[in-house]
Amino acid sequence: MDVQRGELVTDDAGRMVEAKGGILFIDEAERLVNNPNPCGRDVLEEIMALLGDASDVTVIFAGYRKDLVKLYNINEGLERRIHMEIHLDDYKPHELMRIFMDKAENHAGYKFIYNTNRESFQANLQERFNTTFMQKTIPRYNAGLVDHLMNSAAAAIATRAAEDENVDRKLLIEQDVEQAFKQLEKRLQKRKTG
C-alpha cells in the first residue's frame, strides 16, 4: 500500500490494519513530523506500535536522507525499529538525459528534429545536466528535473506555435530544449534567491 501523509493522518487506524500482512510505503515520510498538525506525530506513534507488534508487515519510509534523520530524532525508538536502510544515489547526467529522451519520445509522443544528429543532441543534453548549477540542483530534484524540463519544453513549443499556427506541437527541436533549460535554470535560481 502506497500512502501520502494526508491519507495516514485522516485514516491512520484503518490504514495500519490494511498494512498488516503486507507493505506500507510512506512517501515523503518526513512530512509526518515537519508539519504543525500534531496528527502526524500520532500516526508515527501508531506506526511504531505496528512495528513493535507485527512481524508480518514491512514499513518503508521514503524521503531524503537528511529529512529522514530528522524523523528518527523525533522519537528515539523509531530508529531501532528500522532494520535496514537503502540509500539510492542521485541520478547522473547521462541517466537524466536518458530519462528525458524516454519521457519525450515514449510518454509525451514528441518527435525530435536535430541540428546535427541524435548522438550530438544527447551529448549536449547530458552536458546541460552536468553544469555546476544542475549538479547542485540534482540532489534536491533528481528525476523531477526532467518533469520540469518537459514542462518548459512544452512552453517553448507553445511560444513557437503562437508565432506560427503551422507549428506541429509534437515536434521538439533542439532550440526548444535549449530554451527549456534556460527557463528552468532561471526559475530554479529564482526559487533559491527568493
C-alpha pair distances (Å), 124 with each of 127, 141, 186: 5, 20, 19
Terminal Cα-to-Cα distance of the chain (whole angstroms): 37
Buried b (16+ CB within 10 A) or exposed e, 140-173: ebbeebbebbbebbbebbeebeeeeeeeeeeebb
Q: Which amino acid is at 99?
A: I
The CATH number for 2-81, chosen from 3.40.50.300, 3.40.50.150, 3.90.1150.10, 3.10.350.10, is 3.40.50.300
pTM strictly above 0.85? no
- Grid coordinates belonging to 77: 525508538
Q: Tens of pLDDT along the chain (194 residues)?
A: 555 545 554 444 555 556 666 888 888 888 887 766 667 778 888 888 878 776 678 888 888 888 888 888 877 788 888 888 888 899 999 999 999 999 999 999 999 999 999 999 999 999 999 999 999 999 989 999 999 999 999 999 999 999 999 999 999 999 999 999 999 999 999 987 76
What is the Cα–Cα distance from 194 to 191, expressed in whole angstroms? Answer: 5
Q: Say what the pLDDT of residue 9 is.
A: 45
Q: Say what the pLDDT of residue 21 is.
A: 67
In the chain, which ranges are E strands?
2-3, 23-26, 58-61, 111-113, 171-173
So where are the chain's domains? 2-81, 93-193
What is the Cα–Cα distance from 125 to 127, expressed in whole angstroms? Answer: 5
What is the Cα–Cα distance from 26 to 59, expressed in whole angstroms? Answer: 8
Q: Say what the pLDDT of residue 150 is.
A: 96
- Grid coordinates belonging to 193: 534567491
Q: Say what the pLDDT of residue 47 is.
A: 82
Q: Say what the pLDDT of residue 74 is.
A: 79
What is the Cα–Cα distance from 120 to 152, expressed in whole angstroms? Answer: 21
